Amino acid sequence: VPSDRATQRPIGSARLSVPAIDPKARRTLDTTEAREVAMRVPRPDGTGRGGLSAPSSRPARLGDHVSWIYHSDRDLLGHTAQFTRAGLDAGNRVVVLTASLPTVAVTDWLHDAVPGFEAARGAGRVEVLDGPRQYLATGRFEPDRVTASFAEMISATAAAGYPGLWVCADMTWSADTAGGAGTVARYEARANRLYASGRVAGVCQYDGRRFGGADLDAVCAAHPITPGQATLRFHGSDQAPHLAVSGEVDASNQPVLAALLDQLPAGDVEIDATDLRFADGASAWSVVRLAATRPGDTVTVRCTPALARVLRLVAGAARPRLVIAAVAGG
Amino acid sequence: VGESGTLAEPAPEPAADATDGGLATAFDRDAITGTRHLVAAWAANAGLLGQRLEGFVLAVNEIITNAVRHGGGRGRLRLWAAAGVVWCEIRDHGPGPTAAAGGQRRPTGYELPPTSATGGRGLWLARHLCDTLSFDRRPDGTTVQLTIAVRPGTR
């Protein structure tokens, strides 16, 4: 049975065959079903960065990369069910990566909580996979290999005709990873590049009982979206030296911008920050530093007059090849 | 502009109760974004506009971020307006802008840190984006005061 074999398959270990989408399989919940599901989903008990009811506890659109903290198994299951339902409703392919709960337990829960789950699973539209087997396929965490595997999965999903891939990953395995939260935070920050294509959305679930406060800060700050914190959105491609950013960037998500800038291809670079409503000092500095560390390349930033002023202030007199184009009314 | 280490001048006392329209709030590491949004809404309501508003909000954000990173992870913020000037006072539980481990000079915001430095630009920005910036460092914490005139040139 394909779904069972899929459970054994590490990401990217073999060529992924994603069943082509069947347009007739797209469906929306009728209200009776929706009400029933809502009643079966556990009540939120989270506060701060957690909480099922937080509007940004799951992706709002493709390209969103969300961190979410849970405090109980019921929290985790309820959130996973909501994510799966929303992803399927929007016609996406959904992949659930388990960690703290057995794959079979999560699958059973989704079977009960998500209408049409079995049909979707049979059609290959949703898979529940063992997370550690995916992330630690070689016995240890190799961030570059995992990122490459996700890139392959995203391409295969697009090739099969889906609008996008929705990935829900319980990241609790990473609490025991060598290098700890710092390694995972760096991986998460660099993985944002995958989301810039707008073909994937994801939520990374962290167990608030397993990570200390400073570690949670670090991993959450590697995500552009954390409930209750600044929301950053971005778009770009691997080939073009262009990055568009919108929303807000502050201490709660600044490493995301730094990692995106760091991974821009060589050559002249253009950053469209016209729709960036807020950037803190560290973020402005990361843009200036990009220009300072790429001698010979010109970095052009289109932004609001307010951000232009801040960029000029942090650049100081020793301005590198930074072209600041203020756009009024952004 | 006040010298570092001393407040520039005695501040008019903030509103004693919320009915006078002042804002008082506590913040911690999870509340940088939310506190900034509160400050932005309050300052806009107090009459700050455009780039002066955006600059003031950024300045407050930088001081709050410093408090979270270096001032014990939390603090208290008060905002009030008096005589056409918006005042913001931020207290934390840290030693204030400190000499870094490498023995660098204590940043005061008067100089832009060198390109090699990772931090210290928040104070530089705050000094340029507000009318005054001053510190009061005590053993149990640091108080930073920012002011900006609602309309330019009135102070």
pLDDT tens digits for range A44-76: 333 344 444 455 788 999 999 999 999 999 999
pLDDT of A328: 80
Least confident among A126-135, A171-180, B121-130: A171-180
| CA-based nearest residue to B29, from A258, A57, A184, A252 | A252
Disruptive mutation site among B54, B64, B116 for chain A (greatest number of A CBs within 10 Å): B54
Structure tokens at B45: 């309501």
pLDDT of A46: 33
Residue type (1 letter), A100: S
pLDDT band, residue B138 (cuts 50/70/90): confident
Specify whether the CB–CB gap between A83 and A168 falls below 8 A.
Answer: yes
Distance from CA of A157 to the nearest CA of B (A): 35
- Alpha-carbon separation of residue A202 from A13, A209, B112 (angstroms): 21, 22, 39
pLDDT of A20: 60
Do B65 and A252 lie within an 8 Å CB cutoff? Answer: no
Structure tokens at A55: 């509007």
Q: Which residue has the higher pLDDT, B97 or A280?
A: A280
Q: Mark A153-175 as b/e (b = at least 16 C-beta within 10 Å).
A: bbebbbebebbbbbbbbbbbbbb
Distance from CA of B143 to the nearest CA of A (A): 20
**CA torsion, points B122, B123, B128, B133, in degrees to nearest 10?**
140
Residues 6+ apart with CB under 8 A from A54: A46, A227, A228
Specify whether the CB–CB gap between A183 and A147 falls below 8 A.
Answer: no
Confirm whether pTM is higher than 0.90. Answer: no
pLDDT of A8: 45
Interface of A with B in 187-226 (CB under 8 A): 213, 217
Q: Which residue has the higher pLDDT, A35 or A158?
A: A158
Question: What mean pLDDT, rounded, does chain A reach?
Answer: 85
Q: Is the pLDDT of residue A173 over 60?
A: yes
Structure tokens at B149: 């005139």
Specify whether the CB–CB gap between B22 and A216 falls below 8 A.
Answer: no
- In sequence order, the β-bridge partners of residue A234 are A245
pLDDT band, residue A178 (cuts 50/70/90): confident
B34-89: pLDDT as tens digits: 999 999 999 999 999 999 999 999 999 999 999 998 888 999 999 999 999 999 99
Least confident among A21-25, A163-167, A206-210: A21-25
Task: Map residue B138 onto helix, strand or coil.
Answer: strand
Instruction: Choose among B33, B122, B125: nearest Cβ to A252.
Output: B33
Do A314 and B36 lie within an 8 Å CB cutoff? Answer: no
Q: Which residue has the higher pLDDT, B105 or A59?
A: A59
Residues 6+ apart with CB under 8 A from A43: A52
Q: Is the pLDDT of residue A122 over 80?
A: yes
Q: Is A327 on the interface with B (CB under 8 A)?
A: no
Q: Is A314 on the interface with B (CB under 8 A)?
A: yes
Q: Is the ipTM reported for this complex over the cut 0.90?
A: no
Residue type (1 letter), A73: D
Residue listed under structure tokens 């506009």? B49
Q: What does the pLDDT average to over A85-108?
A: 97
DSSP state of A145: H
